[in-house]
Structure 1
């Protein structure tokens, strides 16, 4: 009898359920927080909430959501998730504009991760704008 070698999943999804704490750090369950944006149940009403939901999308490896919330002029063809990278926390450092009364906004944040077991941090100032009535990610500048 031939022995089959199981194929590893191409992109394993971390175990985040609707009832899990939301990866974005807000005191709500994932399903009631960023999960509702990921499913399309509602759209993020501010640039900060879009930033948080995009971070959570990286945690759960939701490529579709990330691409849908990327400005079409800057959107890549796909998102290459590194299976050795695990996002471990998000800290919002600053926001400017980005409310329901604005058309642009910025969010400065630190996203923590481990890569191959080694801790790291990503510092970025992200730029957002309204496109077709919804907030989208335009681009980001790495900061220290």
Structure 2
């Protein structure tokens, strides 16, 4: 919750985990704040009828406290209108004004 309340994430993975929980908790303001303005879509960012159940971090490349960019690959398990699904993405993060932000991702 500290990151949802404005604390800066120290790593790209920490930001990615906070974004996953923001989707689960429907904290759209955190998603907007943590998304690079060049790639951020228009709201709403949260799909109605979706419930997030579990997150698996599969890989991280860079994205540490001394890096300027990083990659986090993850699998997110959820339910959409009563149907189970799994979303896998390789997400790119960059530092912008000394803060980690989500840039974009490639779905697998």
Alignment match, 1:55? 20
Equivalenced residues, count: 108
Q: In 2, distance between residues paired with 1:128 and 1:80?
A: 18
Spell out the pairing of 1:1-144 with structure 2 (5 A cutoff): 35-40=1-6, 42-143=7-108
String of CA shifts for 1:69-98, please: whole Å, max 9, x gaps. Answer: 001111122134222110000000000000
Aligned-partner Cα distance in 1 for 2:69–2:47: 30
3-state SS in 1 of match to 2:85: strand
Structure 2 residue matching 1:36: 3-state secondary structure: coil
Aligned mates of 1:122, 1:104 — CA distance in 2: 22
Q: Which has the higher strand share?
A: 2
Shift of residue 57 of structure 1? 0.4
Q: What are the superposed Cα offsets for residues 110-129 of structure 1, whole Å, 9 maximum, x if unpaired? A: 00001111110000000000
Higher relative contact order (CA 8 A, sep 6+): 2
Query: Which contiguous aligned blocks of 4+ residues in structure 1 show a shift greater than 2 angstroms?
Result: 79-83
Instruction: Give the Cα separation in 2 of the matches to 1:81 and 1:102.
Output: 29
List alignment gaps of at least 5 residues for structure 2. Answer: none
Larger Rg: 1
